[in-house]
Amino acid sequence: MATVKGAPLSGAAVIDLKNVSIGYGKDAPPVLVDVDLSVERGSFVAIVGPSGVGKSTLLRVVAGLHKARTGGVTIHQDPRPAHRPVGLVFQDARLLPWRRVVKNVQFGLEGLPVTSDERLRRAEEALKLVRLDGYARRWPYELSGGQRQRVGIARAMAVDPDILLMDEPFGALDAITRNNLQDELRRIHRETGKTILFVTHDLEEAVHLADRIIVLGGTPARVVRDVRNSAGRDGSVFREQVEQLRLEIADNYSI
Amino acid sequence: MKTRNSLALSALGVIGFLLLWEAVARSGIVPAQLIPSPSAVPAAFLTEFRSGIWQAMVAASLSHYLVGLSLGAFLGVTFGTAAALWGVWDACQAWVVRMLRPIPAIAWIPFAIMWFGISEAAASFLIALTVFWINYYATYAAVRGVDKDLIELGYAFGQGGLVARLFKIVLPGALPGILSGLRAGLGQGWMTVVAAELFGISGLGMRMGEASSLLATHIVVLYMVTIALLYGVSDFLFMQVQSRVLSWQR
């Protein structure tokens, strides 16, 4: 079910990072250097690496929330940081506690030239996508951790972004909920054809979900490995394949 | 403890307190004028009510109170928010605020009278001053305490502009703290009402002053009880509004 709207040629780079380096504060040494990364439309890319390596910050650079120290970021060849067609999903769901679920989902739409009827329609559609129709009138505190994360995904999907940026979205969930949501995310990816950039520290999760895995490591960190992965994608997850990739990637952690 | 039991005990406490008070007043240990007996209060109320003085005094105080409260709360919340959000303004006013803050509102009474005369405006001014500081500090802390991650969320979803950030994230996020400030101001405001009116501005405080100068202490007690009731009612109403506004909280 492809929903590519007015898109450039399929397989064209949606996200382009050229020689990006990232640091915090003016004089501190950079944490992440020499990142060249080109992400194709519709792909599911996982970024893995030990904590503190700058994974989440890299995601924020792509979102236009954090300025790269050097290098360039373009989305559809456009370098402007504002109004990027991205939807963000955070590890802590980050719902506004004073808004009911449906209003939370509409949050990003309020900045767009969309009528309130249309906002509601799109919010309900997004809730259906994450299988939370019927929860529209709930308050966030009434939801479980997994449900909150679903609302976070719906909120990101409601603006119909080209790119879904996910920052360890399942990191705080219990194993069963996490597995469910991973399957849901794969379904959503299949159904909507969104480009997904997914940060995680969990290699199994990366192997399970992504068709491409970028491994960051070292000090300062750089891309140490860029793996094409077919283990998760075709639905036949072979234990050995996962294990082999895991070992291969784990080797690179020590670099 | 069950709510019903605790309610019953609270009521019992009040009755016990009144009985003890009545017993002391009747025992003659202290002169009747120093401790009027509570049973004299209903009669005092009827006299004051029939002459229309009670209603007039309540209406006068209520109007000082409402004007002062709304003015002080509005300015307190506005300045508190501005100082918390805007670093330059915060730095400019930080020391001035620290100088003015420790001065209690009643210390401004001489100036209030010089500026406004013995007038309604003077009373409202003093009440506004009291309420202002409480709301200023409560709002400042509440706005400072808004989760930075939610601000980032605003930027991430195209709601990072000043107006959207203020009304969709900062103020709703700070609302519980702002409402606590308003509630505290509600109580402090009534205390200032009495102090301000004791100087002859028509209202509950003035009537208390008159009564005490005539040693009509049962009338003083009547107006003390009146203030307690007015405070109780305003606090109760405010709590109703608050729990509705904050129904999103667990």
Contact check, Cβ <8 Å, A97/B159:
no
User: Is the confidence at residue B26, as pLDDT, over 60?
Assistant: yes
Among A residues 46-75, those touching chain B with beta carbons less than 8 Å apart: 63, 65
- In this complex, the residue of A97, A107, A112 whose CB is nearest that of residue B248 is A97
Domain boundaries, chain A: 13-85+162-253, 96-161
- In this complex, the residue of A65, A98, A111 whose CB is nearest that of residue B172 is A98
Q: Does A83 touch chain B (CB under 8 A)?
A: yes
What pLDDT score was predicted for residue A4?
41
Reported as a single tens digit per residue, the pLDDT across B144-202 is 999 999 999 999 998 988 999 999 999 999 999 999 999 999 999 998 998 888 888 88
Which residue matches tokens 């994450």? Answer: A130
User: Is the confidence at residue A7, as pLDDT, over 70?
Assistant: no
Residues of A in contact with B168 (CB under 8 A): 96, 107, 110
User: Is the confidence at residue A9, as pLDDT, over 80?
Assistant: no
Cα A4 to Cα A162, B43, B112: the distances in Å are 9, 83, 70
Contact check, Cβ <8 Å, A88/B157:
yes
* A9: alpha, beta or left? (left if phi > 0; alpha if psi -120 to 50): beta
* Closest CA relative to residue B174, chosen from B84, B74, B244: B84
What pLDDT score was predicted for residue A240?
65
* Closest CA relative to residue B226, chosen from B201, B190, B197, B192: B190
Q: How far apart are CA A227 and CA A238, in angstroms?
A: 17
What pLDDT score was predicted for residue B12?
94
Q: How far apart are CA B189 and CA B130, in angstroms?
A: 7
φ, ψ of residue A136 to 5 degrees: the values are -55, -40
Q: How far apart are CA B171 and CA B165, in angstroms?
A: 8
Q: Which of A29-43, A46-60, A173-187, B139-153 has the highest mean pLDDT?
A: B139-153
Rounded average pLDDT over B77-82? 96
What pLDDT score was predicted for residue B133?
94
What pLDDT score was predicted for residue A202?
85
Q: Does A7 touch chain B (CB under 8 A)?
A: no
Q: Does A140 touch chain B (CB under 8 A)?
A: yes
What pLDDT score was predicted for residue A232?
55
Instruction: Please enumerate in sequence order all residues whose Cβ is within 8 A of that of A231, keeping only pairs 6 or more positions apart, or say none.
Output: A207, A208, A237, A238, A241, A242, A245
Reported as a single tens digit per residue, the pLDDT across A74-124 is 898 888 877 788 999 999 999 999 999 999 999 999 988 999 999 999 999
Percent of chain A at pLDDT exceeding 90: 47
Residues of A in contact with B159 (CB under 8 A): 107-108, 110-111
Rounded average pLDDT over B81-88? 93
Q: Beta A13-22 vs A32-40: how paired, if at all?
A: antiparallel
Coil, strand or helix at B31:
coil
Strand stretches in chain B, DSSP E: none
Q: How confident is the model at residue A12 (pLDDT cuts 50, 70, 90)?
A: confident
Q: What is the mean pLDDT of chain B?
A: 91
User: Is the confidence at residue A203, as pLDDT, over 90?
Assistant: no
Q: How far apart are CA A15 and CA A84, in angstroms?
A: 11
Identify the closest residue of chain A to B247 by CA–CA distance: A98
**Cross-strand pairs, A217:** A222
Contact check, Cβ <8 Å, A63/B156:
yes
Coil, strand or helix at A20:
strand
Reported as a single tens digit per residue, the pLDDT across A210-244 is 989 998 888 888 898 888 877 655 555 556 666 76
Q: How confident is the model at residue A249 (pLDDT cuts 50, 70, 90)?
A: low
Contact check, Cβ <8 Å, A97/B249:
yes
Interface test with B, best of A107, A109, A151 (most B CBs within 10 A): A107
Reported as a single tens digit per residue, the pLDDT across A15-37 is 999 999 998 888 888 889 989 99
Q: How far apart are CA B148 and CA B152, in angstroms?
A: 6
Contact check, Cβ <8 Å, B150/A94:
yes
Reported as a single tens digit per residue, the pLDDT across B210-233 is 988 888 888 999 999 999 999 999
What pLDDT score was predicted for residue A237?
52
- 8 Å CB contact between B69 and B156: no
Residues of B in contact with A141 (CB under 8 A): 248-250
Q: How far apart are CA A151 and CA B156, in angstroms?
A: 16
Q: Beta A70-75 vs A195-199: how paired, if at all?
A: unpaired
Contact check, Cβ <8 Å, B149/A140:
no
User: Is the confidence at residue A6, as pLDDT, over 90?
Assistant: no
Cα separation of the two ends of chain A: 41
What pLDDT score was predicted for residue A248?
66
Cα A191 to Cα A63, A128, A151, A186, B84: the distances in Å are 23, 13, 18, 9, 45
Cα B96 to Cα B72, B92, B93, B102: the distances in Å are 18, 8, 5, 11
Q: Does A126 touch chain B (CB under 8 A)?
A: no
Of the candidate CATH numbers 3.30.450.20, 3.40.50.300, 1.20.58.1690, 3.30.420.40, the domain formed by A13-85+162-253 belongs to: 3.40.50.300
Coil, strand or helix at A203:
helix
Rounded average pLDDT over A176-194? 91
Rounded to the nearest angstrom, the minimum Cα separation between A83 and chain B is 7
Q: How far apart are CA A230 and CA A241, in angstroms?
A: 9
Model pTM?
0.84
What pLDDT score was predicted for residue B3?
78
Percent of chain B at pLDDT exceeding 90: 64
Q: Does A246 touch chain B (CB under 8 A)?
A: no
* Closest CA relative to residue A101, chosen from A75, A124, A76, A81: A124
Instruction: Please enumerate in sequence order all residues whose Cβ is within 8 A of that of B54, keeping only pairs 6 or more positions apart, or say none.
Output: B45, B48, B222, B226
What pLDDT score was predicted for residue A2?
40
Contact check, Cβ <8 Å, A111/B150:
no
User: Is the confidence at residue A8, as pLDDT, over 80?
Assistant: no
User: Is the confidence at residue A10, as pLDDT, over 80?
Assistant: no
What pLDDT score was predicted for residue A106?
96
Domains of chain B in sequence order: 42-245 (1.10.3720.10)
Of B250 and A241, more confident: B250
- 8 Å CB contact between B64 and B123: yes
**Peptide bond just before A220 cis, omega within 30 deg:** yes
What pLDDT score was predicted for residue A252?
58
Q: What is the ipTM of this complex?
A: 0.86
Of A76 and A10, more confident: A76
